[in-house]
Amino acid sequence: MSITDILKYVLVVISILLMVAVLLQNRSGGIGTVFGGSGGGEFYRSKRGIEAFLYNGTIILGILFAIVSLSIAVLNA
């Protein structure tokens, strides 16, 4: 088993974890908040507990996904 095979399995695991992390996050607003809408009078609140863990975990998993994907591409070149 080569290093690229191991990295491919790692990439699959990271992909599944990334999908789960994104799907578990709380939806705080609709499409209107993306374009500067107030979202119905909602106010800003900080992320705490599991919400902060999922947010930070999603960022870390996204970075790991990119690094492993680029590593596979470089090793196969």
pLDDT given at position 44: 65
Determine, yes or no, domain membership for 53.
Answer: yes
Q: Which amino acid is at 13?
A: V
pLDDT beyond 80 at 35: no
- Assess if residue 33 is contained within a domain: no
Q: What are the b/e assignments for 27-66, b being 16+ CB within 10 Å?
A: eeeeeeeeeeeeeeeeeeeeeeeeeeebeebbeebeebbe
Q: Count of domains in the chain? A: 1
d(CA 29, CA 65): 27
Do residues 7 and 71 touch, judged by C-beta distance below 8 A?
yes
Identity of residue 58: T
Residue 9 within any structural domain of the chain: yes
Q: Tell me, yes or no, whether 19 lies in a domain.
A: yes
**10-33: pLDDT as tens digits:** 999 999 999 999 999 877 655 555
Is the residue at 34 inside a domain?
no
In a domain, 41, yes or no: no
Range of the domain at 70: 3-26+46-76
